Structure 1
């Protein structure tokens, strides 16, 4: 996420940057939940762990780092919902969105696979217990950290994905944007995690949800559709809304 003018890059470079940035996010989020949070009964640690606040901070810091490292190359989406919302706002051609989403999902899956491989060498029974607990997957009902239902997950994911996208569009605006766009986006993601972690372990990113669900239990895969669909819907609506409200409907659309 950057408000500065990007130096033209090849599509290969942009997609590689998106994959790397997505991997950084998933490594931070899944790694902090599984290894450091102390939130899972499967975690055997001497202390209470970093908890929800620590996981939220890890997510925010990871996005800040990835935004400044890779954002000037690709725009710093690292999230399929963000790419869809940015296209809806007229900031990128729709034809580029599928490639961005594939790169983001590949990066996220590589990251969750690396976390899984680390777990293979963990304490006896640790990895199996974490997989049975969902492997840091998003969930509702029995899979929610505090028992929130599907309706809460649907509303929360759509709402906070929309808010996240509105922040990103504002701070990265080509005219009104800020040189601190990456910092603002990272802080926004941390705040969103503080709210959503107790509800459904905080997605607002379909690539992140996919990457952890493939190593989780059957409930994680069965509930995955909520975290693939509703962040995208929220971001899509926010993208159209921002374009109409703040950029003016007279702006010529980007050709598809």
Structure 2
């Protein structure tokens, strides 16, 4: 999670709440137009399991990165931020630690997204709440460990604006691997008979 300064009044929980709420609002606002495609990792994951055409992936990813870059440039200009006020992600500890955490939290996020966006059995009206809540929980848990990016575009945008690329590969590779894993994990159990799931649970 980006460090916005020592005098930040919101604090870590406040940032996580705003982050989750913003994600929820975006799902309800543009979800019917672009689905959950404001994240390159999500787009690539959907394409990997044939729920989105590969030929459209480059255009979506470019648009997502461009939007992130413009948003960060706007943020920098509005708040007159200096070069040392980087709002992107840099691994707080080792690159490996942040990479593993990004894979795990993006796996959870994509698992939820796949469930509520692509499965007709899920309650579609609660998709925004489910996704936003997952982002909130991931941010609270993983923020101090990896920055909780979960979105390559979110990390690439500020890196381009502030010309800061330290550990950027972590926030590109981690979310993509995690998202593909989450999408395939849900699709693996999607059509499994409930009787078979219950039988397996009773054996534990």
Corresponding residue for residue 72 of structure 2: 112
Q: Is the 8 A contact 2:90 2:166 kept in 1?
A: no
TM-score by length of 1: 0.69
Deviations 1:170-211 (A, max 9, x none): 111342122210111011001110012111222110000011
Residue 162 (structure 1) aligns with: 107
How many residue pairs match? The answer is 191
Query: What CA RMSD, in Å, does the superposition of the two structures yield over aligned residues?
Result: 1.9
Taking structure 2 as the reference length, what is the TM-score of the superposition?
0.86
Note the C-alpha offset of 1:247: 4.1
Q: Does 1:226 align with 2:158?
A: no
Residue by residue over 1:46-66, the C-alpha shift from the partner in whole angstroms, topping out at 9 and shown as x without a partner, is: xx6111111111111111111
Q: Which residue of structure 2 lines up, in the alignment, with residue 206 of structure 1?
A: 152
Q: Distance in 1 between matches of 2:99 and 2:32?
A: 32
- Superposed CA deviations along residues 67-114 of structure 1, whole A, max 9, x for unmatched, are 111110111321011111122233222222221111111111111010
Q: How does 1:171-250 map to 2 (within 5 A)?
A: 171-178=116-123, 179-216=125-162, 220-247=164-191
- Mapped to 2, the partners of 1:56 and 1:77 lie a distance apart of 21
What is the alpha-carbon distance in structure 2 between the residues aligned to residue 114 and residue 212 of structure 1?
Answer: 11
User: Where do residues 129-148 of structure 1 align in structure 2 (5 Å cutoff)?
Assistant: 131-133=83-85, 135-140=86-91, 144=92, 148=93
What residue in structure 1 maps to residue 63 of structure 2? Answer: 103
Segments of 5+ residues of structure 2 without an aligned counterpart are 193-204
Report the counterpart of residue 12 of structure 2 in structure 1: 52
Q: Following TM superposition, where does structure 1 have runs of at least 4 consecutive aligned residues deviating by more than 3 angstroms?
A: none
Structural mapping, 1:73-92, within 5 Å: 73-92=33-52
Distance across 1 between alignment mates of 2:191 and 2:148: 30
1:209–1:227 Cα contact (<8 Å) kept = yes
Structure 1: unaligned runs, 5 residues or longer: 1-28, 35-39, 121-126, 249-256
